[in-house]
Amino acid sequence: MSNRIKPEVLAPAGDFERLQAAVKYGADAVYLGATSFGMRANAGNFNEEELRAGVKFAHEHGVRVYLTCNILPTNEEADQLEEFLLRAADAGVDALIVADVGILMMARRLVPQIDIHISTQTGVVNYLTANELYKLGAKRVVLARELPLETIREIRRRTPADLEIECFVHGAMCMSFSGRCLLSNYLTGRDANRGECAQPCRWSYYLMEEKRPGQYFPIFEDEHGSYILNAKDMSMIDHIDDLVDAGITSLKIEGRAKSAYYVSVVTNAYRQAVDQYVADPENYHLAGWLAEEVYKVSHREYCTGFYYGRPDQCYLSGGYVRECDIVAVVDHCADGWLYGTQRNRFAVGDEVEILEPGQPPYKLTVAEIRNGEGESVPAAPHAMMAFSMPCPEGSFTQGTIIRKKKTD
């Protein structure tokens, strides 16, 4: 039990809105990308000015910022690396997430004040590699996603105590070895190692025999067909105690391309789960409402990744399940009324949930809606419209989420 520490909750921040969501809902740290050298081309990412503002905002709220620099750079990109690293230092980021030994060594020489985290793209699967990277100056290793808990426990036991260990605990699983995949590049010309993956592993496939063109034969797995490359999503919300006991320093939530709603809900769930564990580790039991929260965002079927064995495949086309929609965000409350900004349509009579950071969802039936002019209306149908509604039971802070269960 000597491995027990309070782990960091590390949340994704694809843009400034998602950064704010992560901070508001309890992240200890965020990881984000600039407009180059990162592995998520489809995320919003941060230009130089936005990066500086994002770091300032996070630091004002006691949250650390880790900048991705985890592509495998071409010669041309390597020529631009020095300027990138100096800009990162100027912005005040707390750590660089790197996968390439050349980037690692240049960063140690050029910006030694910034911590180095070794990306999961490096594929660290044993204590030997972790120790050598530590000797080269790494502060943290982000282990490959393919490791069981017992292997992680052994890595922790055989590495220096001040080498931090980070592991993914929630989100999408790549079918390849920690993202080293050429399938997207081969089929679509979009390079996964440049952050442009088209996710062809999520597609359904049929076989066509050479002499029977146009005849497609399914590879049967069940009544839905076969999705032999389509992994389920990972969720370890029910196993915080095992993660801590294995000596994991940082619990990483996947999803820089996910919505601010996703970031808010999942970050909040892991924040509360960690805090509940730390408060009473000997009698830890995850609150039921927290176990339900991760099902209220868009997700594939869940599994526990490789932590307890082999993960399962997702047999649904596309695979995504979405049980709830965000319908509004709170601006402020006053005199028994809630004032907010609409995100998706909702109407009088709908039952909604208000998710305040650190609190169980508060259920409320919408008794009345008024538009920005104070006129009573049957629904809030227009995106970003100002509205108000009675909320006599509570006062909620700015940015709090209002959602409702999908009915279609």
Q: Residue 317: which pLDDT band, with cuts at 50, 70 and 90?
A: low
Does some domain include residue 199?
no
How confident is the model over 61-109, as pLDDT tens digits? 999 999 999 888 889 889 999 999 999 999 999 999 999 999 999 999 9
Nearest of 117, 124, 86, 314 to residue 221 by alpha carbon = 314
159 is in which domain, residue-wise? 8-176+232-303
pLDDT of residue 197: 78
**CA dihedral defined by 155, 126, 66, 19, rounded to 10 degrees?**
-80
Residue 289 shares a structural domain with residue 386? no
Q: How many domains does the chain have?
A: 2
- Contacts with 317 (C-beta within 8 Å, 6 or more apart), sequence order: 204, 224, 227
Nearest Cα neighbor of 28 from 195, 164, 171, 172 is 164
Q: Is residue 227 part of a domain?
A: no
Residue 181 lies in a domain: no
> Would you say the pTM of this structure is higher than 0.85?
yes
Same domain, 334 and 243: no
Cα–Cα distance for residue pair 341/358, rounded to 1 Å = 22
Let me know if residue 310 belongs to a domain. Answer: no
More confident call, 201 vs 44? 201
Report the CATH number that the domain containing residue 245 is assigned in CATH. 3.20.20.70
Dihedral of CA atoms 28, 32, 37, 43 in degrees, nearest 10, equals 150
Higher-confidence residue: 252 or 188? 252
Indicate which CATH number applies to the domain containing 354: 2.40.30.10
Structure token digits, residue 44: 């919003």
| Position 76 in a domain | yes
pLDDT for residue 1 is more than 50: no
Q: Residue range 159-183: average pLDDT?
A: 83
Q: Could you tell me if 299 and 162 lie in one domain? A: yes
* Residue 398, token pair as written in the block: 């700015």
Residues 328 and 297 placed together within one structural domain of the fold: no
Q: Is 209 domain-assigned?
A: no
